[in-house]
Amino acid sequence: MSDGSGEINQAGVDHYNKFINALVAAGIEPFVTIYHWDLPQVLEDKYNGWLSSEIIKDYANFAETCFQKFGDRVKFWFTINEPYTVAIQGYDVGDKAPGHCSILPFPLFCKTGNSAIEPYIVAHNFIRSHAAATNIYRKKYKGIQGGSIGTILNALWFVPATNIERDIDATQRAKDFMIGWFLDPFIFGDYPSSMKNRIGIRLPKFSQAESALVKGSLDFVGINHFTTYYVKDDSINISKRILKDALADTGVVFFRKFKTKHYKPINLSFIF
């Protein structure tokens, strides 16, 4: 769909049909990501892309087209790849498309943006778009095609820097702001309480109907784990209270290793 909606690009369909067929012929199970940061520019120009709730209808239509054209061979669907990355890097610090930001020093490189609000709006629309696509798949295609649908989250892990209560609480908050931001709505139908408490009215709310649609809208979840950090509480840092961006709202400081611990790797044996 070169214009983001409407007429289907048959050449594109043919390309992916050949690709999927080649995978199946080679004994490879296709795992398909419907959206991997490739928003049509026309939708960005038309209504500001993921900042607009109009994206939900267009995304769901695109997802259904994928189900129709490829669902007879594709049994595992990921709706959106790493929504956290797009929300933060696209709309908070601005180093990924569409390059929105407002916090120092990033405004030197960004022409527009509001780092205190836009990441939460975009994430909200990601979640609602995922739920809309899942609803369509389950109602119209899952029973016939026998597939499953989920999403992919980038999930760093976090370990308290010390055993004091503030750092332990901060560690849970770090998990909430990265993983729970998306997983809590999918499991419980709402955002983590730590996010609601710290973000306040800047955090969008789900209507009762939206909450019901979002809750349980995962058959599975994919996890991209890259590294683990030590966490210290930084919730009373006055500069972070003034900045009011999605990263500052977390109220933590991340460390990969401590010099005082001789750069020893983080022990994750307790997880396994």
CATH assignment of 10-261, given 3.40.190.10, 3.20.20.80, 3.40.50.980, 1.10.287.130?
3.20.20.80
Instruction: Please give the Cα distance from 130 to 134 (Å, whole number).
Output: 6
Amino acid 236 reads I
Per residue of the chain (272 residues), give pLDDT as tens.
667 777 899 999 999 999 999 999 999 999 999 999 999 999 999 999 999 999 999 999 999 999 999 999 999 999 999 999 999 999 999 999 999 999 766 556 788 999 999 999 999 999 999 999 999 999 999 999 999 999 999 999 999 999 999 999 999 999 999 999 999 999 999 999 999 999 999 999 999 999 999 999 999 999 999 988 999 999 887 666 676 888 999 999 988 765 555 455 555 543 33
pLDDT one-digit tens code per residue, 130-152:
999 999 999 999 999 999 999 99
Amino acid 79 reads T
- Burial (Cβ within 10 Å: 0-12, 13-18, ≥19) of residue 148: middle
Bridge partners (DSSP) of residue 159 are 230
Helix (H) or strand (E) holding 159: strand 157-160
pTM above 0.85, yes or no: yes
pLDDT one-digit tens code per residue, 204-213:
999 999 999 9
